[in-house]
Amino acid sequence: MSGLGHILEGVGISTVAIGLIPQQVRAMRPPRALLVPFDLGLPFGAPNQPELQATVLAAALGLLDRDATPPLIEVLDVPVPEVVHDDGWACPVTLPAPEREVTGADRVIEEALLLQPWFDRGRRERGHSSFGASGLDLEGVCRWLFGLLANPKPERAPVAGLSVADSFKLAAEDLKAFYLEAASAQPRPGSARALNDWFWDETAAGALLKQLRGALREHEDGAMRTYAAMTLVPEESLRPGHR
């Protein structure tokens, strides 16, 4: 998106990006960017907080009025509200015990299928889903991602028209979307942080993506390497105390 921003600016269209990963935004040097202190996937903060979201939008649009030489990068200094339940949040679906290393795609598929009814319910209630960007079904996503552990340099992507790097990124985002949408559809869903901690610490899917980060962060393909090292797994999920 930073590259696209420079192209649009070159033809006279002003742009501003909202960034969640400071080191990535600064490395990509977009024309204008607002860094926000929210969890990944929530660039405007948690849902149902219109005043906070209006603040983010006003700050982002305000950068368009600034006459400065790009890159213009500012940090939004706002308190980050947290939704807290007294008894915490727990997934009502009993998943198999998590493993530090996933040894087969079937392990993730089996786990994901336990969440399928909740995912389907959430999609019906919302009327849409962000799952499907990769062009693969759930099983295809799991098998493609696991296959990258054994063969990190496949000759072609599983879907025509996509590069291997794009398929890797979109499949990983699909897997995260499936789990988090399923969890969000359950009774009394926890905060965004609680759901992210659950995904990264308690599921085989989270363990698989962490393995892929370790396996691909030094990949010779720059796009694969950048996504694996900087975006695939949130930095807070790699700190001590997490699996």
Residues 183 and 122 in one domain: yes
- Decide if 66 is inside a domain: yes
User: So what's the pLDDT on residue 144?
Assistant: 97
What is the value of pTM for the model shown?
0.70
Q: What does pLDDT average to over the chain?
A: 86
Kindly report, residue by residue over 92-101, the tens digit of the pLDDT: 677 877 777 8
Kindly report, residue by residue over 131-190, the tens digit of the pLDDT: 999 999 999 999 999 999 999 999 999 999 999 999 999 999 999 999 999 988 877 666
Residues 223 and 152 in one domain: yes
Kindly report, residue by residue over 52-66, the tens digit of the pLDDT: 999 999 999 999 887
Q: Which long-range contacts (CB under 8 A, 24 or more apart) does 99-105 make?
A: 99/204, 99/207, 100/207, 100/243, 101/207, 101/211, 102/146, 102/204, 102/207, 102/208, 102/211, 104/146, 105/142, 105/143, 105/145, 105/146, 105/147
- Residue 11: which H helix or E strand, with range? none
- Please tell me the total count of domains within the chain: 2
Residues 54 and 123 in one domain: no
- Decide if 81 is inside a domain: no
Domain range for 17: 2-75
The full length of the chain comes to 243
Residues 67 and 127 in one domain: no
User: So what's the pLDDT on residue 243?
Assistant: 55
User: So what's the pLDDT on residue 88?
Assistant: 58
- Decide if 83 is inside a domain: no
10 Å CB burial of residue 64 (0-12, 13-18, 19+) is exposed
Residues 124 and 169 in one domain: yes
Residues 114 and 159 in one domain: yes
Residues 135 and 230 in one domain: yes
Which range (12-16, 116-120, 128-132) has the least confidence? 12-16
Binning pLDDT at 50, 70 and 90, where does residue 82 land?
low
Answer yes or no: is pLDDT of 87 > 60: no
- Decide if 80 is inside a domain: no
- Decide if 189 is inside a domain: yes
Residues 146 and 70 in one domain: no
Residues 160 and 225 in one domain: yes
Residues 67 and 109 in one domain: no
Residues 121 and 177 in one domain: yes
User: So what's the pLDDT on residue 189?
Assistant: 62
- Edge-first strand order for the sheet with 17-19 is 17-19, 32-35, 72-75
